[in-house]
Amino acid sequence: MRTAHMVVLICLAGAWASPGCAPNTTIGAGVAYPAQLGQARTLDIQAFSDGVRLTMTNTTGGTIRDARVWVNAYYQLAIEPWAPGQTVVLSLDEFRDEYDAPYRAGGFFAGRNPDKVYQVQIEHADRLDGVVLVKSR
């Protein structure tokens, strides 16, 4: 009987010490929102959000390079160069905050209600520009 108790205690101690059970207390190396830039203007880019994806079409006259898309002035995602007329579809769960925590997107298996997209901005060329948000769920 004593041996059975020892086995249970050893198993419990092993499960408690397992790194898979320990909470992640590491703060990620995310990017903070560039509030000091202020929004310069609104670009001729339309954005649509269905709660899971953010779809945007570049209808400006130029390619946007070295850009970072900001959602709700909190979550960001770096994007590849974006040519005029090109449409990009970005998964909202790839967006991260300054602590590297993900955006709470929706979807069929979402455990909680998703965050709503109410603002989209693009940081590029040392400025912050707004985007026309046409639809958001």
- Domains of the chain by start residue, with CATH: 33-105+116-137 (2.60.40)
Whether residue 21 has pLDDT greater than 60:
no
Give the separation between CA 112 and CA 103, rounded to whole angstroms.
Answer: 12
Whether residue 85 has pLDDT greater than 50:
yes
Backbone angles phi, psi at 45, to 5 degrees: -135, 130
Query: What was the pLDDT predicted at 24?
Result: 44
Least confident of 50-64, 77-91, 103-117: 103-117
Whether residue 25 has pLDDT greater than 50:
no
Quote the tokens at residue 36: 């000091």
In the chain, the N- to C-terminal Cα span, in Å, equals: 59
Give the separation between CA 121 and CA 56, rounded to whole angstroms.
Answer: 11
Cβ-contact 57, 89 below 8 angstroms: no
Whether residue 30 has pLDDT greater than 60:
yes
Give the separation between CA 78 and CA 133, rounded to whole angstroms.
Answer: 19
Q: How far is CA 42 from CA 16, 134, 136, in A?
A: 52, 13, 18
Q: How far is CA 75 from CA 31, 40, 64, 95, in A?
A: 9, 19, 19, 6
The pLDDT tens digits for 93-114 are: 999 999 999 998 766 666 667 7
